[in-house]
């Protein structure tokens, strides 16, 4: 396949996957609000969103976006606006009357589908993920690889699979902890912190210059 140092890729990929970021914050937010099923739906959506970046990196679309000032700016602003929207939505939900949020509210099938697609968009619309794939994956593709695209896809799928397993574990843990929070106030402040994190990441992304 033209892949070298696979063990090192697996180790580095695992460490990167467990590093907190917008994706993990989104999963925790949905798990604490609606239970572990919602968190798992978010995790699966993020996993599907990663397919967009894997495909784009394999065919060179990501490189084209990074080479084009207007394309990168457009994707950056759309992604930033979406992250801010998710953050404000989470903050708004955290200010509901305490009696109505004593326990995570179970999400309906329609809500789970919505959360899934929100997860897809949260990941797919983040240009930083595209930059990561273009910077990280090529280091493990041999110069004489018979098909660099196939090597990219293989590494991307491995990274996505490991990340999805980790994200599902995070969703289950966050949902379990939400039902056993020692204090309702603590749970509310956790949701507000996550919402503020999304807003902050969105603003930071919007102000980021080209790489």
One pLDDT digit (tens) per residue for the chain, 211 residues: 678 888 888 887 787 777 777 888 889 888 888 888 999 999 999 999 999 888 888 887 666 666 777 776 776 677 677 768 777 877 777 676 554 444 555 566 668 899 999 999 988 887 777 777 777 777 777 777 788 788 888 989 999 999 999 999 999 998 887 776 555 566 666 667 767 776 777 777 677 665 5
The three-class DSSP label of residue 146 is coil
Predicted pLDDT of residue 101: 45
User: Nearest CA to 30 among 40, 39, 20?
Assistant: 39
The phi, psi pair for 17, rounded to 5°, reads -65, -35
Predicted pLDDT of residue 186: 60
Q: Which two tokens stand for residue 78?
A: 């759309």
**Statement: the pTM of the whole predicted model exceeds 0.85:** no
User: In this structure, is the dihedral angle defined by the CA atoms of residues 92, 85, 43 and 207, taken in order, positive or negative?
Assistant: negative
What's the DSSP call for residue 189?
H
Predicted pLDDT of residue 187: 61
Q: How many CB atoms lie within 10 A of CB 25?
A: 21
Report the distance separating Cα 67 and Cα 211, nearest Å. Answer: 10
Predicted pLDDT of residue 99: 44
User: Nearest CA to 25 among 206, 205, 191, 211?
Assistant: 191
Predicted pLDDT of residue 183: 53
């Amino acid at each position: 396949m033209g892949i070298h140092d696979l063990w090192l890729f697996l180790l580095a990929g695992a460490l990167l996957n467990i590093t907190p970021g917008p994706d993990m914050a989104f999963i925790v937010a949905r798990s604490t609000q609606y239970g572990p099923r919602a968190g798992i739906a978010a995790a699966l959506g993020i996993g599907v969103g990663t397919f967009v970046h894997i495909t784009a990196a394999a065919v060179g679309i990501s490189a084209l976006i990074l080479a084009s000032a207007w394309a990168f700016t457009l994707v950056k602003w759309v992604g930033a606006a979406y992250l801010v929207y998710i953050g404000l939505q989470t903050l708004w939900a955290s200010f509901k009357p305490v009696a109505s949020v004593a326990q995570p509210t179970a999400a309906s099938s329609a809500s789970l589908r919505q959360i899934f697609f929100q997860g897809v968009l949260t990941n797919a619309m983040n240009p930083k993920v595209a930059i990561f794939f273009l910077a990280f994956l090529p280091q493990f593709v041999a110069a004489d690889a018979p098909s660099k695209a196939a090597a990219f896809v293989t590494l991307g799928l491995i990274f996505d699979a490991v990340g999805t397993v980790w994200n599902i574990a995070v969703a289950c843990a966050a949902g379990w902890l939400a039902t056993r929070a020692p204090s309702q106030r603590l749970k509310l402040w956790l949701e507000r912190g996550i919402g503020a994190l999304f807003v902050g990441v969105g603003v930071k992304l919007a102000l980021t210059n080209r790489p």
